Each structure stands twice: as structure tokens, then as C-alpha cells.
């Protein structure tokens, strides 16, 4: 009888509490990728709706793993087809830009590139030498690249 009661409580908790937590907590999860070509250049994208250059990525959709989201986003935003295992660099709070948001940043070194052209969302996708990033590269992007390339201390915020 006790086991049945516990199973019922778990079921009720899952059915009632999880939806409430989703509504009341309002957390979101995104992915970004530091994609390095064999010559050390890194892929950056420029959106049509926001200023600056940044690492490609986007939101994780319901029912999607972070790796699936990462693969989808880098393909959509730069024609990148991941062929190796992405390495997790870290998970960062993005409170300043989007309250409740977290970003999982990955490093990708093994990939191929399909033909790609600008879209409604992405104006440009180009590889840059880390020493020659565009002046309007976002601060979050600069922090992540400094951590990855130069070994700067990892900070918890995007």
C-alpha cells in the first residue's frame, strides 16, 4: 500500500508541480558554438535584427537535446555540419540580456561546411582570425573566445 501511495504522490507531483515550475521559474536554455577551422579562425554570425557579431547558436526547443539544438542551429546559421563530438566549454547565465536564460557554449573543431546563404535571421556568417575580430563583436563572444583561446578565467555570466 505504501508503494502505491508513493507512486501516486510522484505522479501528482510530476503532473502538478512541473508545469507550475515551468510557468513560475521561466528558465530558458540556449546553445552557442565556438567553431574553429583548421587554420584557427572562428565562425561568427551577424543577425539581421540585432547589432554585433557573435557565436552561432539559438534556443533549445522542447523535446530537443542540447546537442541536437546545437547541430540544427550551426547548420541553419552557417552551413556547418558537425562531424565530431562538440566539447562543452561551460553553461552561463545570460541574465543581462534575457532574464532567466542560460547558454551552453560548445567548442567544435570537426565539421564540414555546406553551401550557405544569408537568411531572414542571419545577415552574414564568416570566419575570422581571433586576433582580427570585428570591432562590434559582442562582449559575451569576446569573453568566451578569451577563455577558450587564451585560457582566461571562466566567468559564470554570458
User: Given pLDDT bands bounded at 50, 70 and 90, which one contains residue 23?
Assistant: low
Mean pLDDT of the chain: 90
Asked, for residue 52, whether it belongs to a domain, the answer is: yes
- pTM to 2 decimal places: 0.84
Specify the number of domains making up the chain.
1
pLDDT of amino acid 125: 98
Query: Is 3 a member of any domain?
Result: no
For residue 107, tell me if it sits in a domain. yes
Q: Which domain holds residue 35?
A: 27-150
Residues 6+ apart with CB under 8 A from 13: none
The verdict on residue 20 lying in a domain is no
User: From the CB of residue 42, how many other CB atoms can be counted at a distance below 10 Å?
Assistant: 23
CATH number at residue 113: 3.90.79.10
* CA gap 32, 104 in Å, rounded: 6
Whether 131 maps to a domain, the answer reads yes
135: Cβ–Cβ under 8 A, 6 or more apart, which residues? none
Could you report the per-residue pLDDT of 49-68, keeping only the tens digit for each?
Answer: 889 999 999 999 999 999 99
Specify the pairing of strand 42-47 against strand 53-54.
Answer: antiparallel
pLDDT score, position 54: 97
Is position 105 within any domain? Answer: yes
Q: Give the position of cell 513560475.
A: 24
What does R_g of the chain's alpha carbons equal in angstroms? 19
Q: Does 157 map to a domain?
A: no
- CA pair distance 67, 30, nearest whole angstrom: 11
Question: In this structure, is residue 62 part of a structural domain?
Answer: yes
pLDDT bracket for residue 26 (50, 70, 90): confident
Taking residues 96-106, what's their average pLDDT? 90
Amino acid at each position: 500500500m505504501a508503494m502505491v501511495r508513493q507512486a501516486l504522490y510522484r505522479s501528482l507531483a510530476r503532473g502538478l508541480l512541473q508545469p507550475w515550475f515551468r510557468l513560475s521559474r521561466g528558465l530558458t536554455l540556449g546553445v552557442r558554438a565556438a567553431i574553429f577551422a583548421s587554420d584557427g579562425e572562428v565562425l561568427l554570425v551577424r543577425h539581421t535584427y540585432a547589432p554585433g557579431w557573435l557565436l552561432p547558436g539559438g534556443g533549445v526547443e522542447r523535446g530537443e537535446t542540447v546537442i541536437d539544438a546545437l547541430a540544427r542551429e550551426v547548420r541553419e546559421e552557417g552551413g556547418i555540419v558537425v562531424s565530431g563530438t562538440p566539447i562543452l566549454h561551460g553553461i552561463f547565465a545570460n541574465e543581462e540580456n534575457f532574464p532567466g536564460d542560460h547558454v551552453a557554449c560548445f567548442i567544435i573543431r570537426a565539421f564540414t561546411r555546406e553551401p550557405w546563404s544569408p537568411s531572414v535571421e542571419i545577415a552574414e556568417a564568416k570566419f575570422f582570425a581571433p586576433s582580427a575580430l570585428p570591432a562590434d563583436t559582442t562582449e559575451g563572444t569576446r569573453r568566451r573566445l578569451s577563455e577558450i583561446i587564451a585560457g582566461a578565467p571562466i566567468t559564470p555570466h554570458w
